[in-house]
Chain A
Amino acid sequence: MLLITCPVCGAEGDETDFHAGGEAHIKRPATSDPGNISDAEQRDYLFMRKNPKGLHFERWRCDRGCGKWFHAARDTVSLRFRAFYRVTELPPRDLMEQATGEWREFFKDKLAQGESRS
């Protein structure tokens, strides 16, 4: 059973009190550049998913609390949550540094530029 804490309202509960929303930090390419999107970029946005064995970053919704979406860092092997953070934020710096594979690539620039908001 997953134990989840909403970073917005502080509600605690298990996965039946929350809704899993899949991979976090996905940006719709057509939002920034609607006239110039390749089929491959649109495919990446719609279907390609990071599927790490280990540290993963995802979206959850506080179904039975405040109803807000938020972000969580979770290990897909131990199922343990590492952090909960708001939907406008990037993960804590130490978790961005621990990320592997595609997530490491994703966070590389953001770490270098010292960004904290997603």
Chain B
Amino acid sequence: MASQKIIAVYLFAKLTKYNSGKAVALSHGGIWASETGGENPALLINRPRPAGRGSPPLADMPEDPRMKSRYSIFSLARNALNYHKDWERAWRSPEPKAEYDAVIVGAGGHGLATAYYLAKNHKLTNIAVVEKGWLGGGNTGRNTTIIRSNYLQDASIAIYELARSLYEDLSQELNFNVMFSPRGLLMLCQTEHEFRALKRTSHANRLAGLDCRMITPEEVKRLVPIVNDDPACRYPILGAYYQPRGGTGRHDAVAWGYARGADSMGVDIIQNCEVTGILRDGDRVTGLETTRGTIKTKKIGVVTAGHVSTVCQMAGVRLPIESVCLQALVSEPIKPVIDCVVMANTVHGYISQSDKGELVIGGGADPYNNYSQRGSFPALEHTVTALVETFPIISRLRMLRMWGGIVDMTGDRSPIIGLTPVEGLYVNAGWGTGGFKAIPGSGYVFADTIANGRPHPIAEPFGLHRFIEGRLVDESVAAAVAH
């Protein structure tokens, strides 16, 4: 009886202290509570810890990474009682080993997904992902998080729809809330030409089994009440292409979830490790020179987006790719005004609203080669002008942040996935302005390609050979929009 009383008092004291002193953790709970335990676990990694408290420093942690516990409502409750001091690190920070079975260059979404599926589907766990900066710090953290699969060509539909369908249960698969939100995606038709082009796309998509349809201006107005439906405006709404299963996801969480999943299967994710050279013996790769020493390996997967040309150049491989800057921006947070994704391709802007209330806005890429992650002001101005025309109520919003990512553009605006002329060197690049939506599918087929040394059937049309054979997967013209 007495002991029960003591426990009750102890719990009460803890809970009241939690409520008064840990308000910050609670305020994040809305977003992260269900899967990750109240706080973004990835942010716990490098937080300074008071001496003698909390979890042990990295070196003292158990050798076997599979000791990782699952995130659940119980782990949330347990850690809440401990003031969130004891969350374990979501992934290790290992020193590079001398040799791996395969090395992925680039710890963005695509690279980490590749490592995850290599370990999970192909049991290749003696592998590493090397990353110049921090994981998810490139285009994975710089996109507008749109997920859709409504491309025109069959080859594109296959890979983007594989990705979209993998997104559907990715949170359960990874035990990490990637906040996939299939809130529906509209592509507005604002000219007769665009209406016909998107109608063609919708027919192609329906033949391929995609869930989509064309909708009337009245339906558009019902789904998006803030849209300008004045038939006399310069670009009136004539209808829209609607993919109800498209939507958005949490871009960082996708990288963090794949990183945690890959790490728990033994994959070494090595950050702050820049590749400075690719070692070759004749026509095959033998390893990598990095800023953290030489790593021997027979298989290298280059997944470095805007820097894919510079990395492949180290192995003497040329690519049909140019790097340009694509910008995006967010407004100040406002009350919910738009609960789906709207792309207005004629005026050239797209918009959705984040859970924080910010309008997330994207547009076209700058027209010239750029490695600086700084875009030009005219491109931003063009995007905002376009959206104000289509959504007049946003005209007085202040913009909070803008940023640029370096995207890798191919001539047909389709990716390059597969083998290169150098044996053991695989490349997954050219996702251009639309890579985020493809992350799970891209990793899935690229892992299969690396493990088996031949292109996965879905990746096969995206090989480098298509540029010699003239067998392009042309999504450039098909999109009816300048990328």
Q: Indicate if B411 sits at the interface (CB-CB under 8 A).
A: yes
CA distance A31 to B322 in the complex (A): 25
Interface residues as binary, B390-425 with A (CB distance below 8 Å gives 1, 0 otherwise):
000000000000000000001100000000000000
Are B378 and A77 in contact, with the CB atoms below 8 A? Answer: no
- From known contacts A1-B378, A51-B323, A53-B310, infer whether A39 and B370 are also in contact, taking CB-CB under 8 Å: no
Q: Indicate if B320 sits at the interface (CB-CB under 8 A).
A: yes
Kindly list chain A residues whose C-beta atoms are within 8 Å of the C-beta of B321: 49, 51
- From known contacts A1-B376, A1-B378, A40-B468, infer whether A51 and B369 are also in contact, taking CB-CB under 8 Å: yes
CA distance A58 to B322 in the complex (A): 12
- Identify which of residues 53-103 in chain A touch chain B, using a CB-to-CB cut-off of 8 Å: 53, 56, 58, 74, 76-79, 101-102
- Identify which of residues 16-42 in chain A touch chain B, using a CB-to-CB cut-off of 8 Å: 16, 19-20, 22-23, 39-40
Closest chain B residue to A38, Cβ basis: B468
Q: Indicate if A14 sits at the interface (CB-CB under 8 A).
A: yes
Query: In the complex, what's the smallest C-beta–C-beta distance from B106 to chain A, in angstroms?
Result: 15
Q: Count residues of chain B with CB under 8 A from any CB of chain A.
A: 26
Q: What are 22 contact pairs spanning A and B, CB under 8 A? A: A1-B376, A15-B378, A20-B367, A20-B368, A39-B468, A39-B469, A39-B470, A40-B468, A46-B411, A47-B410, A47-B411, A48-B319, A49-B320, A51-B309, A51-B323, A53-B310, A56-B369, A74-B368, A76-B323, A76-B369, A76-B370, A76-B371
Q: Indicate if A2 sits at the interface (CB-CB under 8 A).
A: yes
Q: Indicate if A43 sits at the interface (CB-CB under 8 A).
A: yes
Q: Indicate if B172 sits at the interface (CB-CB under 8 A).
A: no
Are B368 and A15 in contact, with the CB atoms below 8 A? Answer: yes
Closest chain A residue to B373, Cβ basis: A77
Are B318 and A48 in contact, with the CB atoms below 8 A? Answer: yes
- Identify which of residues 353-388 in chain B touch chain A, using a CB-to-CB cut-off of 8 Å: 367-372, 374, 376-378
Query: In the complex, what's the smallest C-beta–C-beta distance from B469 to chain A, in angstroms?
Result: 7
Which residues of B are interface residues toward A (Cβ below 8 A)? 307, 309-310, 313, 318-323, 367-372, 374, 376-378, 410-411, 467-470
Kindly list chain B residues whose C-beta atoms are within 8 Å of the C-beta of A58: 368-369
Kindly list chain A residues whose C-beta atoms are within 8 Å of the C-beta of B319: 48, 51
At the interface, is chain B mostly helix, strand, loop or mixed?
mixed
Kindly list chain A residues whose C-beta atoms are within 8 Å of the C-beta of B411: 46-47
Report how many A-B pairs have Cβ atoms within 8 Å.
65
Interface hub of B367, B369, B411 (most chain A Cβ within 10 A):
B369
Kindly list chain B residues whose C-beta atoms are within 8 Å of the C-beta of A56: 369
CA distance A53 to B467 in the complex (A): 23
Query: In the complex, what's the smallest C-beta–C-beta distance from A78 to chain B, in angstroms?
Result: 7
CA distance A23 to B377 in the complex (A): 23
Kindly list chain B residues whose C-beta atoms are within 8 Å of the C-beta of A46: 411, 467
CA distance A22 to B411 in the complex (A): 12
Query: In the complex, what's the smallest C-beta–C-beta distance from A84 to chain B, in angstroms?
Result: 14
Kindly list chain B residues whose C-beta atoms are within 8 Å of the C-beta of A101: 313
Are A76 and B378 in contact, with the CB atoms below 8 A? Answer: no
Query: In the complex, what's the smallest C-beta–C-beta distance from B300 to chain A, in angstroms?
Result: 19
Contacts A51-B369, A102-B313 known; list 14 others, CB within 8 Å: A2-B376, A15-B367, A15-B368, A20-B367, A22-B322, A39-B468, A39-B469, A47-B320, A48-B320, A53-B371, A56-B369, A74-B368, A76-B323, A76-B371
Query: In the complex, what's the smallest C-beta–C-beta distance from B418 to chain A, in angstroms?
Result: 16
CB-CB nearest 7 A-B residue pairs: A47-B320, A51-B309, A20-B367, A20-B368, A47-B411, A53-B371, A47-B467
CA distance A115 to B367 in the complex (A): 30
Query: In the complex, what's the smallest C-beta–C-beta distance from A19 to chain B, in angstroms?
Result: 8
CA distance A15 to B378 in the complex (A): 8
- From known contacts A46-B411, A49-B322, A53-B310, infer whether A1 and B369 are also in contact, taking CB-CB under 8 Å: no
Query: In the complex, what's the smallest C-beta–C-beta distance from A45 to chain B, in angstroms?
Result: 11
